[in-house]
């Protein structure tokens, strides 16, 4: 696409800082895409969207008071378990933790709370494993 389908002006590939708003909170992110030089319409490819997906997902998680993808991964690694092990112990399906840690899906609130309790040593991971398996 070299011309804008809306106004027929030239389209250029570039990155711009864009404000993303969620529940009355805002974050500025650099978004790559095809930008119209006249009407300022933006055309985003799947690759463009993927480049900001994680940042937007973690922003939403922070606003909703959920652990971020990095926090989930840190806690799982602290427990010395793989993504598959975590899925077997905590449920959610065989690829659940992969999806949580790559921002494809947000973990449930009960799982989020359980991970926070385990991380703060208020609940023993050994006790969880003993009843989960």
The tally of domains found in the chain comes to 2
Is the domain of 15 the same as that of 56?
Answer: yes
Q: How far is CA 68 from the centre of its chain?
A: 7
Is the domain of 29 the same as that of 48?
Answer: yes
CATH of the domain at 92: 1.10.260.40
Is the domain of 80 the same as that of 121?
Answer: yes
Q: How far is CA 103 from the centre of its chain?
A: 3
Question: According to the model, what pLDDT value does residue 64 have?
Answer: 97
Q: How far is CA 16 from the centre of its chain?
A: 21
Question: According to the model, what pLDDT value does residue 87 have?
Answer: 93
Question: According to the model, what pLDDT value does residue 125 have?
Answer: 94
Let me know if residue 6 belongs to a domain. Answer: no
First to last CA, the chain: 54
Let me know if residue 2 belongs to a domain. Answer: no
Question: According to the model, what pLDDT value does residue 60 have?
Answer: 97
Is the domain of 93 the same as that of 127?
Answer: yes
Question: According to the model, what pLDDT value does residue 2 have?
Answer: 85
Q: Is the CB of residue 54 less than 8 Å from the CB of residue 61?
A: no
The reported pTM is 0.82
Is the domain of 82 the same as that of 30?
Answer: no
Let me know if residue 1 belongs to a domain. Answer: no
Let me know if residue 3 belongs to a domain. Answer: no
Q: In terms of residue numbers, what domain contains 96?
A: 69-132
Question: According to the model, what pLDDT value does residue 94 have?
Answer: 87
Is the domain of 90 the same as that of 116?
Answer: yes
Question: According to the model, what pLDDT value does residue 133 have?
Answer: 67
Is the domain of 59 the same as that of 113?
Answer: no
Consecutive 10-residue averages of pLDDT for the chain (133 residues): 91 94 97 94 93 95 97 97 94 92 95 97 93 80
Is the domain of 75 the same as that of 58?
Answer: no
Question: According to the model, what pLDDT value does residue 132 have?
Answer: 83
Q: Which residues of 6-29 are buried (b: 16+ CB within 10 A; e: fewer)?
A: eeeeebeeeeeeeeeeeeeeebee
């Amino acid at each position: 696409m070299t011309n804008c389908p809306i106004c027929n002006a030239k389209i250029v590939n570039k990155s711009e800082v864009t404000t993303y708003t969620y529940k009355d909170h805002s974050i500025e992110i650099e978004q790559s895409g095809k930008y119209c030089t006249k009407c300022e319409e933006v055309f985003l490819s799947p690759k463009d969207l993927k480049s900001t997906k994680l940042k937007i997902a973690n922003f939403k998680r922070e606003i909703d008071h959920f652990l971020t993808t990095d926090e989930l991964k840190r806690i799982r690694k602290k427990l010395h378990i793989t993504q598959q092990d975590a899925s077997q112990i905590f449920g959610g399906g065989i690829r659940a933790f992969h999806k949580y840690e790559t921002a494809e899906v947000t973990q449930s609130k009960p799982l989020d709370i359980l991970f926070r309790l385990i991380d703060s040593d208020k609940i023993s991971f050994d006790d969880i494993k003993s009843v989960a398996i």
